[in-house]
Amino acid sequence: MLQPELEIFAAMLDSAAQNGIATSQITLQHPLSIDDAYEVQRRLVSKRVERTGRICGLKVGFTSKAKMIQMGVDQVIFGHLTSDMQIQNSGRMSVAQAIHPRIEPEIAFRLAEDVDYVLSPESALSTVDAIAPAMEIIDSRYKDFQFTLQDVIADNSSSSHFVLGDWRPATIDVSSLRMTLRIDEQPALTGYSHEISGHPINSLIDLSALAVQHGVVLKAGWIILAGAATEAVPIAGATKASCSVAGLGDVEVYVR
């Protein structure tokens, strides 16, 4: 695809996010390869960084087998996290300009070193110096929350905001922790950490392979959101969301 077209799509998504106005799917206008989609994402993130922040990590998407089957894919995807996306634990976020805001319970890793190679199950944990409970707020910029795999990659994998609990030692076993998501007075939604790629560390392993493929170096100090343990829950009209991860801690955010 021609570079000017990729720039047009990045500008379209950037405008939708800034103004809180949904846009049409790119793939309804033009065929888009996976590589093209990641190039649109790179340009989109660059626009955000120029205005407000710096890249501080990556999020992993499609970490559940069910979601992969639904989308017809066999590989995770990634999106970039920027410093202005982070909300402090027990902080507030506005959804006034959001389009389809939803929240999901996650586990976060903090990298202790740069990673520019494909991790193995034996080496992955040694690259992590801390683990935290987390929640990610996603917000697709497409009309009616409809998109293809290429569309969602281009849209920075629906990244919007995230909130972290306290960092804990990387020695904590996160293979099968109970994770409970609560939205106001709604019934709690429960999942387990093994529902994230079979084990959250597998998300980091898969991400490292994908990062090598797309020429991205994972940086020391970066936050890696490993993926969701439950479905994403709409938060428009809510006032508070919280997540409790057994043995790891709690995290919460107020919504306005």
H or E stretch covering 131: strand 128-138
pLDDT of 252 over the 70 cut: yes
What is the domain-level CATH number for residue 162? 3.90.850.10
Name the 3-class secondary structure at 4: helix
- The sign of the torsion formed by the CA atoms of 117, 119, 120, 123 equals positive
Looking at the structure of the chain, the number of domains it has is: 1
Residue 52's pLDDT is what?
82
pLDDT (0 to 100) of residue 204:
97
Give the pLDDT of residue 183: 96
Give the alpha-carbon dihedral of 39, 28, 96, 222, to 10 degrees.
-20
Query: Where is 190: in which H helix or E strand?
Result: strand 189-192
| pLDDT band at residue 186 under the 50/70/90 scheme | confident
CB 222 within 8 A of CB 127: no
For residue 185, the model assigns a pLDDT of 82
28 in Cβ contact with 154 (< 8 Å): no
Under the banding of pLDDT at 50, 70 and 90, the label for residue 66 is low
What tens digit of pLDDT does each residue of 1-28 get?
667 899 999 999 999 999 999 999 999 9
Full residue range of the structural domain in which residue 57 is found: 3-255
The pTM of the full predicted model, rounded to 2 decimals, is 0.95
Q: Give the pLDDT confidence of 139-172 residue by residue, as tens digits.
A: 999 999 888 999 999 999 999 999 999 999 999 9
Q: Between the CA of residue 3 and those of 37, 40, 43, 51, 81, what are the distances in Å?
A: 12, 9, 10, 22, 24
- Residues 44-58 have a mean pLDDT of 94
pLDDT digits (tens, 9 = 90+) for 192-242: 999 999 999 999 999 999 999 999 999 999 999 999 999 899 999 999 999
Average pLDDT of the chain is 93
